Amino acid sequence: MVLCVNVSKKVSVPSSHCPIRLVELRRLGLMDYGIALELQRSLVHQRRQNPNLIDLVLILQHPPVYTLGQGSDLRYLNFTVDDPAYSVWQVERGGEVTYHCPGQLIVYPILNLIFYQQDLHWYLRQLEEVIIRALADSGIEGKRLSGLTGVWVDGHKVAAIGIKVSRWITMHGFAINVCPDLKGFHKIVPCGIRDRPVGSLSQFKPDIQLTTVETNITAHFAEVFQIHWHPPNGAGSLQVYSDRRFHGQ
């Protein structure tokens, strides 16, 4: 099941009678997009085979890369896929084209929504709520915009969400522009939205740190989804660059 929706809905959290779930947090550092994608697919496959396996959240960054959702319109690329500046991947998530690079915090939850709430709109709103609360901790007011998915600050899109849910198991997730070089976004129409700019948190709080945002995200993810992080929290950083160019799915 691939989801690409632009709706607004009141946010809720799991009811108090739901048991607290343990979720493993893995910090993966700077990881090639292809390696991270295969890791996600492997983790999801394992959980399709055994739904009782522990949920996970992967936190990482990517080297510069463009990704397109399944069914994305190539007209939103301001270059040809035969000669891209960076690797281009077309994958199974919902949504249009986006750009990843260092300075952007990426979060990929691998959750079995059977144990939370079997509602994809609810899940998207929960992810937005995590981001909005994390930004508030840094004194930045993040907002939803009616009819659009993601989080916005003063009309600038600072966080994009693109997910896939299959048999109620999630993959892909969200990306927050903390302090990236935004020039890579100039080569695309981000998320297919022409009339609203992409921004970064550093525009609004110049001294903001990736580590601070990561800490706030993990705290509020646990709060919103009512989970406990399962140690160890994960460590290590992989710096692997791919020389492959276009990857169709």
Tally of CB atoms within 10 A around 244:
11
Which one-letter amino acid corresponds to residue 156? Answer: H
The two tokens of residue 154 are 């003063």
Any residues with CB less than 8 A from the CB of 28 and at least 6 apart, and which?
36, 58, 59, 60, 234, 236, 237, 238
- The residue annotated as part of the active site, out of 4, 18, 179, 191, is 191
The two tokens of residue 82 are 């035969």
Indicate left, alpha or beta for 234 from its phi (over 0: left) and psi (-120 to 50: alpha): left
Any residues with CB less than 8 A from the CB of 68 and at least 6 apart, and which?
74, 88, 89, 90, 91, 96, 97
Which of 217, 233, 116, 228 shows the shortest CA–CA distance to 176?
Answer: 217
The two tokens of residue 46 are 């394992």
Residue 191 bears catalytic tag: yes
DSSP-assigned letters across all residues of 198-211: B--HHHH-TT--HH
Q: Which residues are catalytic?
A: 191
